[in-house]
């Protein structure tokens, strides 16, 4: 899929996740909107995967350490054919597989995640096993920036560098907001790039809502032989919905009927513009 088509796809995924959250009356809206471009680049362009064989041994692995922002992932897995799209209507309902965090009863999910600070350690283990078994798959781990206050993240970072896991890619959704406000007010993280570099990772800082930059960066991995890569994806919380962008309140806010209609109209216009560009109109 070309970059323009990926941009249109990301707009559609944002529409789908908002509709799903609105129907369920629950969900982590802001972070799912901010990470949509990252996941779209990975699942439609970069990662090796086969929805008809979700346990294919050579597949690339994806771990959503910031598991609370699962809504974009559910919509993408459904769109890629890992499970029927109709099932999105059951999100967070009684008896559903599509709960508020990744659930490995669903095809395409490697691990139950969402206890923040655990995803990178799991990813280190997967990447190390690939090296030991001479397997060619890569492991992508998406973390939140608020999650960087967890000590276990830094223990895993040390291990990833120690074992020279250049098949391991950490991604930080750096939207600078968490549930209780600014990350720098809750627990200051900067200079975050320098900290990861000091732990032995090759750090690439990009606009995490720029599809061209995402694809270019992910396709250049490994960015340094013998080093894991950390992609600092600087994003906008609530990206794509004008009244939700950079508003901490939208971390766990559900759009009402009017807000949903406004958001869908905005995103439909964006999607249409990219579809016209792709058609050369």
225, with CB counted inside 10 A (0-12, 13-18, 19+), is: exposed
pLDDT score for 86: 98
Indicate whether 281 pLDDT > 80. no
Confidence label for 179 from pLDDT (cuts 50, 70 and 90): confident
Confidence label for 135 from pLDDT (cuts 50, 70 and 90): very high
Indicate whether 42 pLDDT > 80. yes
Q: Which residue, 166, 232, 163, 222, is CA-closest to 195?
A: 232
Confidence label for 236 from pLDDT (cuts 50, 70 and 90): very high
What's the mean per-residue pLDDT of the chain?
A: 96
Range from 28-32, 103-107, 182-186 carrying the lowest mean pLDDT? 182-186
Query: pLDDT tens digits for 43-78?
Result: 999 999 999 999 999 999 999 999 999 999 999 999
Residues of the chain with pLDDT > 70, as a percent, come to: 100
pLDDT score for 67: 96
What is the C-alpha separation between 210 and 231, in angstroms, rounded?
13
Q: What is the SS3 assignment for the chain?
A: CCHHHHHHHHHHHHHHHHHHHHHHCCCCHHHHHHHHHHHHHHHHHHCCCCCCCCCCCCCCEEEECCCCCCHHHHHHHHHHCCCCHHHHHHCCCCCCCCCCCCCCCCCCCCCCCCCCCCHHHHHHHHHHHHHHCCCCCCEEEEEECHHHHCHHHHHHHHHHHHCCCCCEEEEEEECCEECCEEHHHHCCCCCHHHHHHHCCCEEEEEECCCHHHHHHHHHCCCCCCCCCEEEEEECCCCCCCCCCCCCHHHHCCCCCHHHHHHHHHHHHHHHHHHHHHHHCC
pLDDT score for 181: 82
Indicate whether 246 pLDDT > 80. yes
Confidence label for 225 from pLDDT (cuts 50, 70 and 90): very high
What is the C-alpha separation between 96 and 108, in angstroms, rounded?
16
User: Maximum distance among all alpha carbons in the chain?
Assistant: 54
Indicate whether 114 pLDDT > 80. yes
pLDDT score for 180: 82
Which domains, and CATH codes, for the chain?
A: 3-279 (3.40.50.970)
Better-predicted residue by pLDDT, 94 or 115? 94
């Amino acid at each position: 899929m070309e970059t323009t088509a990926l941009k249109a796809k990301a707009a559609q995924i944002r529409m789908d996740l908002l509709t799903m959250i609105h129907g369920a009356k629950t969900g982590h809206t802001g972070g799912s909107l901010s990470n949509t471009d990252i996941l779209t680049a990975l699942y439609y362009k970069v990662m090796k995967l086969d929805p008809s064989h979700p346990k294919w041994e050579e597949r690339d692995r994806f771990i959503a350490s910031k598991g609370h922002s699962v809504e974009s992932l559910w919509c993408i897995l459904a769109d890629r054919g890992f499970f029927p799209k109709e099932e999105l209507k059951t999100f967070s309902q009684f008896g559903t597989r599509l709960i508020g965090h990744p659930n490995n009863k669903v095809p395409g999910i490697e691990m139950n995640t969402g206890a923040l600070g655990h995803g990178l350690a799991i990813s280190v283990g997967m990447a190390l096993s690939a090296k030991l078994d001479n397997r060619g798959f890569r492991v992508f781990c998406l973390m939140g920036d608020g999650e960087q206050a967890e000590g276990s993240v830094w223990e895993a970072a040390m291990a990833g560098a120690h074992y020279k896991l250049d098949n391991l890619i950490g991604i930080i959704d750096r939207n600078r907001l968490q549930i209780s406000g600014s990350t720098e007010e809750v627990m200051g993280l900067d200079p975050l790039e320098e900290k990861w570099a000091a732990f032995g990772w090759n750090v690439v800082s990009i606009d995490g809502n720029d599809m061209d930059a995402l694809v270019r960066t992910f396709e250049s991995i490994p960015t340094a032989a013998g080093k894991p890569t950390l992609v600092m994806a600087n994003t906008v919380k609530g990206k794509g919905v004008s009244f939700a962008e950079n508003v901490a309140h939208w971390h766990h806010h559900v759009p009402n009927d009017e807000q949903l209609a406004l958001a869908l109209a905005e995103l439909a216009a964006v999607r249409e513009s990219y579809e016209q560009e792709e058609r050369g109109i």
